[in-house]
Structures are given as C-alpha cells and as structure tokens.
Amino acid sequence: MSQDTQPNGYVPRRLHRKPRRIGRTVLLSALMVVVCVLGVGGTYAAKFATALGQSETLQDNEVFPTNTDRPYKDPGDASMNILLLGADKSATDEELDISATSTDQRSDSMMLVHIPADRKKIYIMSVVRDSWVDIPGVGKSKINAAMSYGGVPKLVETLEGLFDQKIDHVAMVDFSAFRELTKAIGGVTVNNPKAFCAYKTTPDVCFEAGNIHIEGQRALKWVRERHAFPGSDYQRVRNQQQFLKAVFKKVLSPEVLASPNKLFDVVNSVMPYVTTDKGLKDAGMLVGLGMQMTSLRSSDLVSFTVPTTGSATIGGQSVEMPDYAAIKKIGEAMADGTLDEYYASIKEQEAANEKAQSGASAG
C-alpha cells in the first residue's frame, strides 16, 4: 500500500471541540515533570486534582489497537509506559482531528516515556520521525505516517510491535499551552550549540550560540526547528531533550518547588489543552504518581534517541533505518527494569567513539 493511500474501513470520530492545533510532544513531557513533583498534600491536593481533571479524554478504542495480540504485560508489573504524541496541523490549516486518518496528518514527534516500578527515574526515548518501520497491515513506511493509516491506534500498534512492549497510556497536547508553561516558570536557560535562525520566519527569531534564555514564543521556535540543521530531526531531538532537562531543573528549583501556588498555576493553565486516554484522566492516580516521585532530581530525567543505523533513500524518500538489535535490547531492558544499565552502556560507547574520533583527528 502506498503512503498516500488511505485504508478502507476506518471511520474516525470527529472531536467536537473548539479549534486547537495539536503540537509536538515537548510540552506534555514538561507537564509530566510538573506532575512528578506534586507532593504537596492537604488543601492543595484537591486543587491539583481539579486542575488535572481539565484534560480532555479519548475512549480506549480511539487510542489503543483492538486486536488481541498486543504485547503481554504482567498485571503485577508496576512500571508505566506512556506515549507522548504531537502532530502537525493539517495542510488545510483546519482543526486537527487526532482520531482521523486523513493523508495529510502525521505524528510528527514521538517520545516513549518509561517510568520504572521503583519510580526512581524517568526515561524519555525520542523516536526519529523518519524511521523506516513495518506498519502492521500496511507494510514499510515512515513511522510518522502511521496515524494516516489508522489513527493513534495504528501508531500505538506500530510502536508496540517495534519494542515488543505494551503502551499503558497515550497523551497528546495542543501547542497553544506551550507558551503558558514557559511563562509560568519564567523561562529556562539552554546551551545552544550553534547559532541559527528559525526556518521560514521573521529574522528576529534567531538564536546565538552558547547559553541563552528562552521563554514563550522563542522557546517554542527553539524547540521546534529542524530545517536549520544538517542533522535535521536529530538536532531537534537533542534540543528537545535538553529543554526538558532545563524545565525539570527549573521546576525543582526553590523558586518554583517552594511555591504550591506557582505549581498550581502551571498545571491549571496547561491541562485544558491536554488530551489523554481515560486512564490518565484519573487525577487521583496522577497526584499519587507525583507523590511517589517527590525524591526525583534533574539528574534522574534520562533522555536518549532510539538508535538508527544510518540514512537511506527508498522510493525517493530519505529515511532512517532503525537499529533493530538496539531496539530489542531497549524493549528487554524496559521489561526487566534494567534501562539504567542500557543507558550506561550507550554512554560508554559514545565516549569510546568520541575518543576514537579525537585520536583519528590528532593523527
């Protein structure tokens, strides 16, 4: 089946909601960071529960595949896998229907979040949008096209098949709330590796190299940009990961953490723009999860990109070839609680590669 062919038989539910544009995943990742420090208790717990309850909800058949051969997860396994999803607006600039399969809809950014049973870490794994994978019932295509073949359930089915791990929850976010989050925490400081200007925008949306403070619209531009980099999506993913760590660090600072009112303002302004499966709608569960993770520090947010083996051209398209051996190891590590060891091994390999490259340059 060609990438532009819409499959038959899938009739999406149109969401009756005021027009919003579903943005990329970064905001919701940051929101999860906020949720994970909500151990405030007392009167504030009720306020947070109300704020968290503002998110919109999709039924299970709108986010999860209905087939019975999904990966098995032991009922006693307390770990949690969450797909954080953002998608580009439609080419017609109309409201994006996240349950639709129109061919101009793509899941543009995907992050698979793994929270282990001991709640001592948060692992955020970015999936490159041009990864050339098998979409069940369709064949090989870029992973960001999966939604066009069967909505969010098809994307979930694709990722579950790739990692052989069950996805417990799905969350999507409207980009409109991104600026509110960064404004609420007073912006963040990131290290910009190379000066650039955002693609197809006004000249004043430019970023110098080095440590820069970003907030609101500028933060949005810095996180979204990919066309300005030779590495395209890879550099954007690195920027997103750095941004999340900066948000985590800011939320854990005395300036924010010591102010339940500020935390409440952040959650209250963001949640109306969030759409989740009904399991994540449970405000009590979210607050409870946050209370289990109050000991987290910025170093406990671990992020990396799911490995690929390199680029290729298939059918005139530039694609990224998944490293299936590495992905198998990631899935196994998610299952047995050893992602920390896997992450340590890839950092060790990266250090060895850098050392080898430095030696070759010196020679």
Q: Is residue 103 part of a domain?
A: yes
Determine the average pLDDT of the residues in 57-76: 90
- SS3 of 292-346: the string is HCCCCCHHHEEEEECCEEEEEEECCEEEEEECHHHHHHHHHHHHHCCHHHHHHHH
Q: What is the pTM of this model?
A: 0.76
The CATH number of the domain where 165 resides is what?
A: 3.30.420.590
Residue 54 vs residues 48, 237, 312: alpha-carbon distances, Å? 10, 29, 43
Residue 227's closest CA among 235, 215, 219? 235
Give yes or no for residue 77 having a pLDDT over 90: yes
Q: Is residue 118 part of a domain?
A: yes
Lowest mean pLDDT among 44-48, 91-95, 136-140, 319-323: 91-95
Q: Is residue 190 part of a domain?
A: no
Query: Which residues form the domain of 74?
Result: 26-182+254-353
Residue 112's closest CA among 151, 58, 166? 166
Number of domains within the chain: 1
* Residue with tokens 């050392």, as numbered in its chain: 355
Residue 98's closest CA among 67, 57, 127, 143? 57
- pLDDT tens digits for range 93-104: 444 455 554 444
Q: Is residue 236 part of a domain?
A: no
Say what the pLDDT of residue 335 is: 94
Q: Is residue 127 part of a domain?
A: yes
Highest mean pLDDT among 193-202, 226-235, 305-314 belongs to 305-314
| Torsion sign across C-alpha atoms 34, 39, 44, 46 | positive
Q: What percent of the chain has pLDDT over 70?
A: 73
Q: Is residue 240 part of a domain?
A: no
Q: Is residue 225 part of a domain?
A: no
Q: Is residue 361 part of a domain?
A: no
Lowest mean pLDDT among 42-46, 60-64, 294-298, 342-346: 42-46
Cβ neighbours for 249, distance < 8 A, ≥ 6 positions apart: 188, 298
**Phi, psi torsion values for 111, nearest 5 degrees:** -130, 130
CA–CA distance, 265 with 5 (Å, rounded to integer): 44
